[in-house]
Structure 1
Amino acid sequence: MPRPAPRTRLRTTLAVAAVTAALAALPAPTQAAPRVVSQAVAASPGDYCLEQCRDILPPGQNGNATFTDLLAFKALGVRPAHFSDTLKPYQDLVWNSQGITDDGLASYYDDSSFGVKPDDVASTVKPRSDVTIVRDKSRGIPHITGTTRLGTMFGAGYAGAQDRLFVMDVFRHLGRGQLTPFAGGAAANREFEQEFWRTAPYTEADLQRQFDDADELYGADGVKMQQDIQAWVDGVNHYIDTVGIAYPGEYVALGLDWPTPHWKVTDVVATAAVVAGIFGTGGGAEVTSALALLEAQAKYGVAQGTKVWESFRSQNDPEASTTVHNGTTFPYGTTGPNPAGRALPDRGSVTPEPEVVDQTVNKTATAKPAPKGAESLRGIFDGGLFPEGFGKKGMSNALLVSGAHTQSGNPIAVYGPQTGYFAPQLLLRQELQGPGVSSRGIAFAGLNFYTLIGRGADYSWSATSAGQDITDTFAVPLCEPNGGTPTKTSQYYVFRGQCVPIERLERHNAWYSSLGSSEPAGSYTLVALRTKYGIVTHRGTVGGKPVLFTKNRSTYGNEAGSALGFMQFNDPDKIHSAADFQKAAANIGYTFNWFYTDKNSIAYFNSGDNPVRADGADPNLPSWSSYEWQGWNPATNRATYTPQAQHPQVVNQDYLTSWNNKQAPGFSASDGQWGYNAVYRSQPLDDRIKAVIGNGQKFTRGKLVEAMEDAATVDLRGDQVLPYLLRVLESAPISDPAVADAVTKLTAWEQAGAHRKTPNASSKTYDNADAIRILDAWWPLLVPAEFKDLGPDLYGALVANLKIDERPSAQGSAFQSGWWGFVQRDLRKVLGDPVQAAQPVTYCGGGALAACRSVLTETLLAATKVPATTTYPATADCAAGDQFCADQIAHNLMGGITQDRIAWVNRPTYQQVVEFPAKRGDDVSNLAVGKTATASSYEKGWYNSPPAQAVDGKLDTRWASDWSDPQWLKVDLGNEQTVSRVVLRWEAAYAKGYRVEVSRDGSTWQQVYATTAGDGGVDVVRFGAVPARYVRVTGTQRATAYGYSLYELQVFRW
């Protein structure tokens, strides 16, 4: 290795000195780490995916960096192992998905087979006697095998803490509304802490009750859940007690005490509340919806205004794309006209309930001391831990195709959840094996006692956020205990005829300046007012009478119970079919769309504790508190929920897609979801799948990945709305040169697929960059101009329910919420195209084509004059006007080690590609092992390598041929078998060119595969099932000067 230049050597020496000095300032380890045994082999349990399951999760498995690691990264730019090794393959698929083959997927997805291959074992740890944790060399993923169930859970807790302890600590603090005392008072931390506090404010007793009630509610399964969680907690605490000096450096950077306090079961419940409150809920926006209705009625009158509001509300738009599309309907959340329980607030009376009081700032307070030589870490968390708007986005998607439309006849799935992009990631990968547990996949940090999304022995599952309406707003009359006249500020409310006090929950948070967070010291008190009917969000009047508006979520106080469904997903004894999976998913109270695949089936089920509302209640708007949910128990907040059969579901539909879109016809969009209309981002997925099926083609795993990734770079506005904008503009000759030029560029981009994509990985300029810039500048001018007739009050009230755009940004997630469907539908009305959805008013140009064209022309011309520096303003990472950088995905800091920005892509964070060729009960054994093998030649003498060594089941013996072409190796299976797969495990002397042949009699041969581009390693050759007694591999071109050498020739039925 060449020596560094003198200046480089000096910088390196100083950096190392700084790291060494900082390390010396840290406390010494208190206990020894568990024994590490190298080169052990993890057991491989029954796996019926047969190397056809793959997955990817950027940026890497490792998420714990010591303080020394943080300093080394700042000084040298070196990240610890497995911190960023999946980032490049994840990103590179953007430019390499076209025409990708099944074999080519290995460059962009990891093998997610069970177990660890012997040559891929990095380490083995036994944190206690009944569990072994094997980490693979490839990605550092833990493969946890317990001889007892609780040993497996203990190991999961230990491994989870190894990979994500600091992230876990963030979530247990956030779940209590205490993020700022832990991570600092950055504005983003304060904002997200406040947002979550109003979603799920709890006392410690509330959290403990959820855990304690599990045995009463779920019987033996509840006891098992309690034992699993306690064992997991014990594993986390064992790591804390034994890690010594190698604990996460973020604790030092933030001036936090170490060791961090031991985990408790209530920390698990608090973390579950975060997941439920962010990803698994829906509804609760009835007040905002009501304010829009009031403005519509003020503008157009009660009757017409209500129709206008309904047209924007999109509760059951007949043009909305749905996951279930086989003609089945699933009515939910509907109501008749003017329901008796509706409690519409008086216009102008509504005020939000304050949630922050006693706020202070102390700019003169002394910062917490920091180790010497650590100045490079100053302010690493000044931006906060969560990006703006996190928790309001959902980007998960799913594509599943039934076996009727695949080459193999087995279903194929490409799916995964989107949880944002963080460094380290909020998710972690793992494998769990033990009594009643067999899974591999991902879990949230702090909840990895079960695999939440992943695969079992012969099935796989995934989810997208559903967001159906499980949260209602109630208008609760205020009262005075002495019988006096209540006002909006009264602190008592009417509950079932009694005047009772409002409960006040407080969380006093104080934060300090530190090395990692330079925000000045400060404090405030978070306040949540709680009633039996939920959390107070607003006050107002209804018919002149003062009321509270409260928000009640059906899973509030019951987040922990959903663990039952996840426990069953992980249990191979519970899941044998699509019906079993749907039954398990029905035990999950969170609002998710669940997807399942195995050898024979694809399936879908929508989970959630959907409350059965009282007759006369209005799910769209506030209802009087007297219209309680049926079967509701105010002490537990449990109620009667819609039965499993009424949830959207389907098995073996021709294909399934989801991108957080509408679930099924008749299944009402929640009051907070106004975008389920003619344009939704799931349509590019549907279009690509329909095109393949419509052309009579069959899917492979590669082809379905291609469909997903091609849709992932599409600008939804350019794909679904721009064609109509261009039709209006071109309805008459265009005279302005600037407009004509813009139309030409926009047309070329739309015809090219409306992608936001560079031509290759090295380019930083989009194809059709000018067209993209024009549309980005045009949209915020176009929408208010097109809908100008609404007036500012109504327009503002509607935008409060659905923002007009969500173009690509550093967060990755895009095109979930916007007015694209409203714009397209309005233009179709102007153009005279069919419109199924009701829209009582045509807005663009008052419905006149010429006038509408003028609106579009004027705003487009104005957009051409908007500087790129305005459309793409400067940020900390991007120069003003840098379009590509503005779109690039940035991994938000959840730790002290940053990640490089990656090209924008609209894709799940974690993603699986699966195709099961077999199921439990099928013979998946190697038919060739121990059978008779013969060859054209073999090495003798010192390197004796006879053909029998290629079928002995060992990976340290081999067959080797003479050093000439051609050569062959043949195995006699003993009798005729059905075969469809051959695996060749090459030694270094591999074949560049070879063919695989089968024969029933040993004399007549059928070629099933041939290549001239062999690259060694392990070749998995798949072909249509054929009867054969003999299998022969013939090498036609050596890749080296030696002969041909195979460790193993393996033959399989499946």
Structure 2
Amino acid sequence: MRRRIPRIASQGVRSGSGALIAAAALMGGLLSPLPQAAAAEPTPTDDYCGTQCADILPPGANGSATLAEILGHRLFGTKPAHSDDQLGPYDALSSGYPSLTDDTLTDFFRESSFGVPDDQVASVTKPREDVTITRDKQNGVPHIKGTTRYGTEFGAGFAAGQDRLWLIDLFRHIGRGELTSFAGGAPANQGLEQQFWPQAPYTEKDLEQQVEWLRKNSGERGEQAMKDAQAYVDGLNAYREKAKKGRYFPGEYVLTGKVDAITNIGEIQPFKITDLIALASVVGGLFGGGGGGEVDAALSLLKSQQKYGVEKGTEVWESFRQRNDPETVLTVHDGSSFPYAGKPEKARGKAMPDAGSVEQEPLVYDREGAAKTAAASGAAPKDPVKAPGKLKKLQGMYDKGVLPADTFSGADSSSRKGMSNALLVSGKHTASGNPVAVFGPQTGYFAPQLLMMQELDGPGISARGVSFAGVGMYIQLGRGQDYAWSATSAGQDITDTYAVELCSPDGSAPTKQSTHYRYRGQCLPMEKLEKKNAWKPTLADSTAAGSYRLQVFRTKYGTVTHRATVDGKPVAYTSLRSTYRHEADSIIGFQMFNDPSYVKDAKSFQKAADRVGYAFNWFYADSRDTAYYNSGSNPVRAAGVDPSFPVRAEPDYEWRDFDPAHNTAAYTPPAEHPQSVNQDYYISWNNKQAEDFSGAGFGYGAVHRGDLLDDRVKKLVDEGGVTRASLTQAMAEAAVTDLRGEQVLPELLKVLRDKPVTDPRLAKAIQQLEAWRKAGAQRNQTAAGSRTYAHSDAIRLMDAWWPLLVEAEFKPGLGDGLYKSLTAQLAVDESPSAGHGPTGSHAGSAFQYGWWGYVDKDLRTVLGQPVQGKLGDTYCGDGELDACRDALLATLAQAAAKPATEVYPGDDSCKAGDQWCSDTIIHRAVGGLTHQPIQWQNRPTYQQVVEFPRHR
């Protein structure tokens, strides 16, 4: 039984306690009792939502487990309290939404009122005299109330340690590029640090400079933010010390060899403010970045020009790029225009690579042991540490890494980050006359969750919601006393690629491998940043010992990503992000969100959102207004610069007022950011923000995932009388709908039905697809818990057919080279079961990236229907309807012949041919606890449903 200060005394012995006590005995009395601190429940904060605010965050609030609890879970299936009690209600909405009412919302969400009623208090902890942490019985959420600002933030850090200590430790090491040294050398761990560290390869000095910059350049709020951060770290360290001394720290520290289970010898390293900056760089890079990928864009343009010639090739490429497609779904749809990052009439400074000259900059050097073997074979050899007794059952539990290899596979450049959504309806169209909002971030499914729930109540702070573990000084997404807010990843272009000319300090001819570059007439050395990592086998990760060195070169124009020649001269392509070295600056906006004296209405919220440098879409609702604001440090580019391609690293093409010493520049003013107040409704699912606001990547076309929301919410608004339940139903129905089946299948069927289909197999297949489309093209179960889809054959057909039909439609006309280049820019498919997609398998998020918009435009062109923003050529059947139909029928026949075992090949979690399982959401284990799979639904991880009846 775990001795954690806030819970044990009030909850008593948990389910499966015999197994846990036996495990504790096995560990030689690992755990010892802790006294519970007594304190009275603080007076609740004013709450203007009543019972009309609710939220949900699976699997549960508790994200920590001792070694005994991990052992009990692995051997006997027991789990700590509140580790998965939000998973069931979250899962149930996928089948329960059709009968949803306002009264039954709390069957699927948890009421998110401020404070804890006396009869719902589970435990009370006072880590200091000036702060109380009260946990509720239903969810175990920490409600932190401080009488001083320091005490409030100290309590936030203490509670973060209680719920997420191991996870926070993991992510500070990911941010520092030191995951393998910390958690073992499994290939997936190697992949994570290789993915994230190059985005922000900070030295300790770099991290310290971010702290000082904020203190010196953000006035009183910056100084207060750093005081809050220090108090938070102090609280986190206070819990770390108590947990280590009392032996109730997370069991993963034993399993990874940090602490000896018997002697308690070992250390959990203290936390410091710079750890929070390193952690913020991971979160910001994963969810709040945008842009990049200009080298790949240049290569695909060159392929198009090689295929069609320069003029036609450019036209074709631009039609696939779809910078400003007139048919795409918009968040701001009132006709407002917000020009940004568009195509200039005449581009200046473009630095296109010479054909065949591009080489990616190597990152990993000096591989030894397991690192060398893993690089050669993709798998690490086993040389396990000997585990005593029943601990052998845990041997190798992290052999694949503390996180699966595809955990963050969507977190590359070119904006592949966002899965969140938002639906808001103005009070003019609701039954109550008050705005209604259903919104939340999609941060993936993890055990424990990356986000943690909490309420913060102290001087200058009053909010409840979620924060990323380890940077929880403030609520980042949630609600205040009389307003709520949320965000989706925006992905606008805040990252550019520069071509720096290489040189030699002795005046000799440079090569592509030269490590000096020209900057304003000087030949400067690149700064070499290194990270040396070594690991040994542990109880958790039996990967053999190994080591390697990570190396990144940094210039005044950012870090080197590629090398090439431009007009015959060797260059290094560098990546420069506007938020680089400024991840901490966004803390001011979050501080304002939590301050009830600052955020009083929609306009003040928008001003706060403008202080967030990350690329996010922010949404707001209170009892009177809804609002939207797009945040981000959008650099003001030099006139004529095309942000889609690399640009020469010369003063004429730099960001306006660029200062490389601090990576600052002029940024677009607030009036130029997409924004709105009280539009009839808002939707966002990582779609285009507004007219003329160019997205950073491909895929903002005629068919987008946002259409699934837009069509439904528009219909609700037209009918009027929108309620929390009806808006939630719109979200939930979209969450189980196949985008291809709803938005593209009608055109496919029109082509197929142009003439009678005489082949019985094909006729049957078409009938199955038609029936599925007519029923709503959903991927939902025949009944709750059935694990079988309605229209399962049609779904299997679509999953098998889509990649075949796209290739047959486009590859003959584009040619192998251009087709391959364009599919590298935008994946063909991202169905729930497509493990090859940007978000990987079992990830929930689906249909963000794919060729559905291209297919839709091309087929409508072939059918002779109106098309705005046509593709640069007609592809299906070379524009001939009969030939197009033949190509689609041929690929449909191939799809129909594919057995389910081939369409759904199976993996570590599912047997081959299990369609439902192939789609399921699986919480990826970041620690020792695992959870059962749940029904697929394309929906935010954390989600709020709010309707404020009153205002201050």
Q: Specify the TM-score bucket, using the shorter chain as the normaliser.
A: over 0.9
Q: Give CA deviations for 1:14-60 in whole Å, capped at 9, x if unaligned.
A: 9668613442174x76xx8574227x424211110111100000000
Asked if 1:188 corresponds to 2:188, the answer is: yes
Aligned residue pairs, count: 902
Separation (CA, whole Å) in 2 of partners of 1:338 and 1:48? 54
Q: Who is 1:748 aligned against?
A: 771
The aligned runs of 1:30-49 (5 Å cut-off) are 35-37=36-38, 40-49=40-49
Separation (CA, whole Å) in 2 of partners of 1:863 and 1:200? 44
Please tell me whether the aligned partners of residues 426 and 445 of structure 1 are also in contact (alpha carbons under 8 angstroms): yes
Separation (CA, whole Å) in 2 of partners of 1:651 and 1:15? 56
Asked if 1:407 corresponds to 2:424, the answer is: no
Q: Who is 2:816 aligned against?
A: 792
Alpha carbons of structure 1 residues 82 and 364: separation in structure 2 relative to 1, 3 Å: closer
Separation (CA, whole Å) in 2 of partners of 1:13 and 1:549? 58
Q: Who is 1:242 aligned against?
A: 242
Q: Who is 1:872 aligned against?
A: 904
Q: Who is 1:652 aligned against?
A: 678
Please tell me whether the aligned partners of residues 20 and 69 of structure 2 are also in contact (alpha carbons under 8 angstroms): no
How many Å apart are 1:693 and its aligned residue? 2.2
Q: 1:628 aligns with which of 639, 642, 654?
A: 654
Kindly report structure 1 stretches of 4+ aligned residues shifted beyond 3 Å: 12-18, 32-35, 362-372
Separation (CA, whole Å) in 2 of partners of 1:137 and 1:566? 29
Q: 1:447 aligns with which of 460, 465, 471?
A: 471
Q: Who is 2:755 aligned against?
A: 732
Provide the secondary structure at the position in 2 that maps to 1:580: helix
Matching residue's letter, 2:759: D
The aligned runs of 1:362-441 (5 Å cut-off) are 362=370, 367-368=384-385, 370=387, 372-387=389-404, 388=406, 389-391=409-411, 392-441=416-465
The aligned runs of 1:997-1036 (5 Å cut-off) are none
Separation (CA, whole Å) in 1 of partners of 2:120 and 2:776? 42
Separation (CA, whole Å) in 1 of partners of 2:195 and 2:384? 27
Q: Give CA deviations for 1:371-423 in whole Å, capped at 9, x if unaligned.
A: 54212212222232334125344210000000001000000000000000001
Q: Who is 2:736 aligned against?
A: 713
Provide the secondary structure at the position in 1 that maps to 2:218: helix
Q: 2:700 aligns with which of 676, 696, 699?
A: 676
How many Å apart are 1:749 and its aligned residue? 0.4
Provide the secondary structure at the position in 2 that maps to 1:98: helix
Q: Who is 1:132 aligned against?
A: 132
Matching residue's letter, 2:250: P
Q: Who is 1:541 aligned against?
A: 565
TM-score, normalised with respect to structure 1: 0.84
Please tell me whether the aligned partners of residues 160 and 236 of structure 1 are also in contact (alpha carbons under 8 angstroms): yes
Greater strand share, structure number: 1
Separation (CA, whole Å) in 2 of partners of 1:361 and 1:140? 44
Separation (CA, whole Å) in 1 of partners of 2:438 and 2:18? 48
Structure with larger Rg: 1
Q: Who is 2:838 aligned against?
A: none
Provide the secondary structure at the position in 2 that maps to 1:373: helix
Q: Who is 1:169 aligned against?
A: 169
Q: Who is 1:24 aligned against?
A: 28
Provide the secondary structure at the position in 2 that maps to 1:791: helix
Q: Who is 1:256 aligned against?
A: 258
Provide the secondary structure at the position in 2 that maps to 1:420: coil
Separation (CA, whole Å) in 2 of partners of 1:190 and 1:374? 25
How many Å apart are 1:617 and its aligned residue? 1.6
In angstroms, what is the RMSD of aligned CA positions? 1.5
Q: Who is 2:687 aligned against?
A: 661
Separation (CA, whole Å) in 1 of partners of 2:300 and 2:166? 42
Q: Who is 1:323 aligned against?
A: 331
Q: 1:826 aligns with which of 850, 854, 858?
A: 858
Q: Who is 2:322 aligned against?
A: 314
Asked if 1:803 corresponds to 2:804, the answer is: no
Separation (CA, whole Å) in 1 of partners of 2:212 and 2:457? 27
Q: Who is 2:836 aligned against?
A: none
Q: Who is 2:106 aligned against?
A: 106
Alpha carbons of structure 1 residues 468 and 33: separation in structure 2 relative to 1, 3 Å: farther
How many Å apart are 1:76 and its aligned residue? 1.6
Q: Who is 1:120 aligned against?
A: 120
Matching residue's letter, 1:441: G
Q: Give CA deviations for 1:69-96 in whole Å, capped at 9, x if unaligned.
A: 0111112211010011000000001111
Q: Who is 1:474 aligned against?
A: 498
Alpha carbons of structure 1 residues 113 and 870: separation in structure 2 relative to 1, 3 Å: same
Q: 1:893 aligns with which of 925, 929, 949?
A: 925
Separation (CA, whole Å) in 2 of partners of 1:86 and 1:744? 40
Q: Who is 1:462 aligned against?
A: 486
TM-score, normalised with respect to structure 2: 0.93
Percent of aligned pairs with the same amino acid: 54
How many Å apart are 1:188 and its aligned residue? 1.8
How many Å apart are 1:179 and its aligned residue? 1.2
Separation (CA, whole Å) in 2 of partners of 1:477 and 1:516? 47
Please tell me whether the aligned partners of residues 177 and 193 of structure 2 are also in contact (alpha carbons under 8 angstroms): yes
Please tell me whether the aligned partners of residues 55 and 943 of structure 2 are also in contact (alpha carbons under 8 angstroms): yes
Provide the secondary structure at the position in 2 that maps to 1:331: strand
Asked if 1:568 corresponds to 2:592, the answer is: yes
Separation (CA, whole Å) in 1 of partners of 2:362 and 2:188? 19
Q: Who is 2:223 aligned against?
A: 223
Q: Who is 1:1038 aligned against?
A: none
Alpha carbons of structure 1 residues 767 and 795: separation in structure 2 relative to 1, 3 Å: same
Matching residue's letter, 2:24: T
Please tell me whether the aligned partners of residues 155 and 232 of structure 2 are also in contact (alpha carbons under 8 angstroms): yes
Q: Who is 1:783 aligned against?
A: 806
Higher relative contact order structure (alpha carbons within 8 Å, sequence separation ≥ 6): 2
Q: Who is 2:72 aligned against?
A: 72
Unpaired segments of 5 or more residues in structure 1?
1-11, 921-1054
Alpha carbons of structure 1 residues 378 and 367: separation in structure 2 relative to 1, 3 Å: closer
Q: Give CA deviations for 1:535-571 in whole Å, capped at 9, x if unaligned.
A: 1110001111111100000000000010000000000
Q: Who is 1:902 aligned against?
A: 934
Q: Who is 2:666 aligned against?
A: 640
Separation (CA, whole Å) in 2 of partners of 1:369 and 1:417? 42
Separation (CA, whole Å) in 2 of partners of 1:372 and 1:204? 42
Stretch moving more, 97-106 or 165-174: 97-106
Please tell me whether the aligned partners of residues 315 and 676 of structure 1 are also in contact (alpha carbons under 8 angstroms): yes
Greater helix share, structure number: 2
Separation (CA, whole Å) in 1 of partners of 2:195 and 2:902? 30
Separation (CA, whole Å) in 2 of partners of 1:521 and 1:317? 52
Asked if 1:815 corresponds to 2:823, the answer is: no
Matching residue's letter, 1:473: T
Provide the secondary structure at the position in 1 that maps to 2:779: coil
Provide the secondary structure at the position in 2 that maps to 1:414: strand
Q: Give CA deviations for 1:415-445 in whole Å, capped at 9, x if unaligned.
A: 0000000011111100000000000000000
Provide the secondary structure at the position in 1 that maps to 2:551: strand
Provide the secondary structure at the position in 1 that maps to 2:581: coil
Provide the secondary structure at the position in 2 that maps to 1:36: coil
Separation (CA, whole Å) in 2 of partners of 1:400 and 1:840? 36
How many Å apart are 1:654 and its aligned residue? 0.1
Alpha carbons of structure 1 residues 56 and 365: separation in structure 2 relative to 1, 3 Å: closer
Separation (CA, whole Å) in 2 of partners of 1:684 and 1:529? 44
Please tell me whether the aligned partners of residues 22 and 371 of structure 1 are also in contact (alpha carbons under 8 angstroms): no
Q: Who is 1:975 aligned against?
A: none
Separation (CA, whole Å) in 2 of partners of 1:381 and 1:413? 40
Q: 2:523 aligns with which of 493, 499, 504?
A: 499
Separation (CA, whole Å) in 2 of partners of 1:867 and 1:338? 52
Matching residue's letter, 1:237: N
Matching residue's letter, 1:636: H
Matching residue's letter, 1:353: E
Q: Give CA deviations for 1:613-670 in whole Å, capped at 9, x if unaligned.
A: 0113210100101111001110100111000110000000000000011000000111
Please tell me whether the aligned partners of residues 378 and 515 of structure 1 are also in contact (alpha carbons under 8 angstroms): yes
Please tell me whether the aligned partners of residues 197 and 528 of structure 1 are also in contact (alpha carbons under 8 angstroms): no
Q: 1:760 aligns with which of 761, 765, 783?
A: 783
Q: Give CA deviations for 1:772-803 in whole Å, capped at 9, x if unaligned.
A: 00110111111111112111111111111111
Matching residue's letter, 1:122: A
Unpaired segments of 5 or more residues in structure 2?
1-15, 260-265, 371-379, 834-841
Separation (CA, whole Å) in 1 of partners of 2:642 and 2:498? 10
